[in-house]
């Protein structure tokens, strides 16, 4: 069965409105973080964390990345998300995530 919202441009916003998930905010230090991001139909997810990951005690593989410094990531491409992380790497950042449960 196909959802009527699947091809609707408001589908992503509708899905977010129905979600009861709370965004957890994580403070990220300056510099490279040490994780790999995967772009899926459902959003951006932590795909891999490297040994030198600076936030591995705060985040896990499978957590969904929602915001970076109050910029909603769902409206961006993977390249734009990566660029946003790079552009802000010289300052402290706040990452909003949905925790993988």
Spans of all domains in the chain: 23-98
Contact 56, 33 (CB under 8 A): no
For residue 17, pLDDT over 70 is answered with no
Strand partners, 44: 39, 65
pLDDT value of position 18:
57
pLDDT value of position 49:
95
pLDDT confidence bin for 40, thresholds 50/70/90: very high
- Structural class in CATH, domain 23-98: mainly beta
- Taken as a whole, the chain contains a residue count of 101
Average pLDDT over residues 4-11: 55
For residue 95, pLDDT over 70 is answered with yes
For residue 37, pLDDT over 90 is answered with yes
pLDDT value of position 11:
55
Average pLDDT, the chain: 85
The pTM (predicted TM-score) of the whole model is: 0.74
Q: With CA atoms as reference, report the closest residue to 56 among 66, 46, 64, 70.
A: 46
């Amino acid at each position: 069965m196909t959802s009527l919202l699947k091809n609707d441009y408001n589908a992503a916003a509708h899905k977010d409105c129905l979600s009861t998930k709370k965004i957890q905010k994580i403070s990220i230090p300056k510099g490279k973080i040490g994780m790999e991001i995967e772009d899926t139909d459902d959003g951006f997810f932590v795909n891999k964390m490297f040994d030198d990951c600076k936030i591995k005690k705060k985040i896990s593989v499978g957590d969904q990345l929602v915001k970076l410094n109050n910029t909603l990531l769902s409206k961006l491409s993977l390249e734009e998300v990566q660029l946003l992380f790079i552009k802000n790497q010289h300052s402290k950042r706040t990452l909003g995530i949905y925790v993988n449960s």
